[in-house]
A = this chain, B = another copy of it.
Amino acid sequence: MTPTGAAADTLAAPRRLGRRPGPDTTRADLLVAARRLFSEAGYERASVRAIARAAGVDPALVYRFFGSKEGLLRAAIQLPVDPDAIFDAIDKNPGDEGRALVRRVLQLWSAPAVREHITVLLRTAVSHEEARAALRDVLTDQLVRRLESHLAAADAHLRAALVATQLVGLAMTRYVIGIDPVSTATDEQLVEAMGPSVQRYLTGELA
């Protein structure tokens, strides 16, 4: 049974007002539900009411925690990992940054939860202009600009964006579309095949 508005109020009230039997997971529950519904139904079609219902809480809590539907979207599509946990692979492997970065990214993606999250991001992003803009901001702020800060070159911003083209293409062909043998290769095969290309974007001659 799906709770209607009134039933959802009843469900949500203890979380907001009553004693808490354990850690309050409302915010996390809303993010999980939002990711699923944005991905399945697209950003525009997934209503705040439906997301709140899937999380078992009152829709008002969406506005309380996230301000707006767009705020919920922006929270839901945050990257599931700390970018610096990716990019310290660059700092720690001078001269071999490209292979180290591809290896670190593939290691992170090997966790099913991370892979699922990335797939959801890409699916949500292509579903609607507002979602696309949100993913653009996340990728620009959390990947391109953070990567840029680990590079010394004057054209670091261009280099970081070029790396993004390769990593987004790798995610799409390995996990979302599934192009053989990129989808079936081992991590190390891809590290050897793509690492030097990423190295060129990071430190090589570009023009």
List of B residues within 8 angstroms of A157 by Cβ: 181
CB of A167 within 8 A of CB of B169, answer yes
User: B127, A179: Cβ atoms under 8 Å?
Assistant: no
Number of interface residues of A (CB under 8 A): 46
Taking CB as reference atom, which chain B residue is nearest A197? B197
Choice from B135, B173, B178, B180 contacting A165 with Cβ under 8 Å: B173
Check A166 against B168 for contact (C-beta < 8 Å).
no
> Is chain A's binding surface mostly helix, strand, loop or mixed?
helix
CB distance from A79 to the nearest CB of B (A): 14
A15 close to B (CB within 8 Å): no
Q: Is the CB of B165 within 8 A of A182?
A: yes
Chain A residues packing against B (C-beta within 8 Å):
41-42, 119, 122-123, 125-127, 132, 135-136, 139-140, 144, 157-158, 161-162, 164-170, 172-174, 176-182, 185, 192-194, 196-197, 200-201, 204, 206-207
Q: Which residue of B lies closest to A44 (CB)?
A: B40
Tell me which residues across on chain B come within 8 A of A122, comparing CB atoms: 126, 172
Q: How many subunits of this chain does the assembly comprise? A: 2
B165 lies within 8 A of A170 (CB): yes
Contact B179 A126 (CB under 8 A): no
Q: Find chain B residues with CB under 8 A from A200 CB.
A: 196-197, 200
Query: Within 8 Å CB of A182, what residues of B?
Result: 161-162, 164-165
Contact (Cβ within 8 A) B158 A181: yes
Residues of B contacting A167 in the complex (Cβ-Cβ under 8 angstroms): 169
